[in-house]
Structure formats: structure tokens, C-alpha cells
Amino acid sequence: MPTSATPARRDPPVDPRGVRFSAALTTVVLALVLVSGSGWLLAAQALVFALGSVAGLRFAPYSVVFRKLVAPRLVAPTEKEEAAPVRFSQTVGLVFAVVGAAGYFANLTALGVIATAFALAAAFLNAAFGFCLGCEMYGLIARFRKNNQQGATA
């Protein structure tokens, strides 16, 4: 368990084009969930989110597809971004996908649709505009925690 003296696990920086590629695939899957009402498809997407969140982005299925099939055809990225905010966004997506799948499986279709729609909106913003809501939340939480720690030591 990391303490304040030991840093949390650090993943290697990621290619932002891979993050957007994954968000695009996620957008397609979540749109299909809304059209079909399939709790099973949403559960599969939850598994994708879980792998990225828990195992790390290099094990996330969409990241593997990008790294093996797409990235070799592109020039090297000019810059990379930190993995921690992206992993956090995968965790947020996982929560929405689990809640949505539970809604669909429990015949609470409105819950399934709403949770899926929130996840879809976030994925679409990232895919289309490179705006990662989960990453922004990560930054806000980090600043909040830092401010609280500074206030506690003052």
C-alpha cells in the first residue's frame, strides 16, 4: 500500500492518439448499447474498462489494438500524456458501465440508458474533441487533495 513517502505505481506515458482511438471504439460500443438495450454488450464494455483501470492501459483491449495495428502505421507521437488521469477515466467509465449493466439486467431500463448515455457523452467528447472528462476530474481531485494537505499542515 503506497504511503505519502512512497509514490503510487507509475505507468509509462501514453500516446494521446491511442487514447482518442480507444474513446472512438468505446463511443461505437456504447451507441450500440443504447440502440440495442443490451446489458451483455455493456457488461463487455465494463470488462474493457476494468482491464484498463485495474491491469493498466497497456493491457486494455482497445489500447492493444491501437498499439499493434494502428500505431505502426503512424509517425511517432510528438508528445505523450500521463497515464494516471486516463486510468482514472477508465475507472469512471467502469462505474457507469457497471451501473448501466445492472440497470439493464434488473429491468431498470431507464437506469441503464442514463448511465450508458453519460458514459457515451464522455467517450464522444474525448474521441471527437480530445477532451477527457475523467482526466479533468482527476486534475480537480488532485488539486483539491493538495490544497487540503497544505491546509492541514498550516
Contacts of 43 (CB under 8 A, 6+ apart): 97, 101
Residue 7 pLDDT greater than 60, yes or no: no
Grid cell 450500440 is found at: 32
Specify burial of residue 144 (Cβ count, 10 A radius: 0-12, 13-18, 19+): exposed
**How sure is the predictor about 8, in pLDDT bands with cuts at 50, 70 and 90?**
low
Task: Give the number of C-alpha atoms closer than 13 A to the C-alpha of residue 36, restricted to the C-beta side.
Answer: 12
Residue in 69, 44, 49, 71 with CA at minimum distance from that of residue 60: 49
Spatial separation of the C-alpha atoms in residues 100 and 1, rounded to whole Å: 31
**What percentage of the chain has pLDDT greater than the value 90?**
86
- 45-97 per-position pLDDT tens digit: 999 999 999 999 999 999 999 999 999 999 999 999 999 999 999 999 999 99
Residue 36 has pLDDT above 50, yes or no: yes
Confidence of residue 104 (pLDDT cuts 50, 70, 90): very high
Nearest-angstrom CA–CA distance, 148 and 110? 37
